[in-house]
Amino acid sequence: MLRRFCIALIATALFAASCGRQVTPNRGGGGGGGGPGLQSGFMSVKFRIQQSFDFANVRYVVVFNTSGNGQTPYANGALTNYQNYSFAFVVGGTGSQAVTPALYEYVRPPNTSVPPQIVPIYYTPQQVIFIPNSNGLGTEFTIIFDRALFYGVPVTPAPGSSASPSPVPSTGGGSAAPQPTTSAQALWTFNFFTTDPSGNPYDALGVNGAQDTSFQSPQLDTTQVFDQTFYVPAGAIAPPNPPTEQITGGEIANNP
């Protein structure tokens, strides 16, 4: 009798454990759906700071390198001709707390080292969703975007001209058949920055703040479901300015 009671007790405990809350996070977003409720073809970015956002006076920047070369973009882009910059979302620094993300492409003539043209990408409300206070604490915003935006700015050569095409800001429409200025590869890298309204950096991911060149971005495989969280390392140099400029980390999720 005692033996049967012990077996029954163990079976009950095993059943209860199987119904319990999962402790280890599901890195794939659960159910094969890709990230937390993302549509197919979309990516989400969560940007986290130490203290409530100051959208009026600080720019919060997410830079992607979609070239596939695996190299990380750094905050000293103005000194390096924006090496490894492909696209960037810029939030804030407009003089107003009411903001929407601006999206830019860094268009560089092939096989040159000249500074790129920084060209705006225009989008529809269905292509980019901005949640300015996604954690309810004022220290996190979320951008959900259609990865097709990273197809690149359409280029239109002058009629009868043999010159290289010039980039034209995309309006998402038009009768011409645009060609991409970039062909995004499957593996992307990224970095987060805070800057003043003129683009001078305050902080970035990595131990050395705005001057950091040690951070190595994880490669984001856009053909896979993922949900990656990352943090600024303990002991990292904090910017010598208010905590509204200090990055703590973030999260990027994807649904192919």
Residues 151, 78, 71, 130, Cα dihedral to 10°: -50
Q: What is the pLDDT of residue 35?
A: 55
SS3 of residue 10 by DSSP: helix
pLDDT in tens, 116-170: 999 999 999 999 999 999 999 999 999 999 999 998 765 444 344 333 333 444 3
- List all residues 6 or more positions away from 218 whose beta carbon is below 8 Å from its beta carbon: 189, 228, 230
Give percent of the chain with pLDDT exceeding 70: 74
Mean pLDDT to the nearest integer, 79-94: 95
Helix ranges (H only) for the chain are: 2-18
- Segment 228-241, tens digit of pLDDT: 999 999 889 888 87
How far is C-alpha 165 from the geometric centre of its chain's CA atoms? 28
Q: CA nearest 199: which of 118, 138, 109, 99?
A: 118
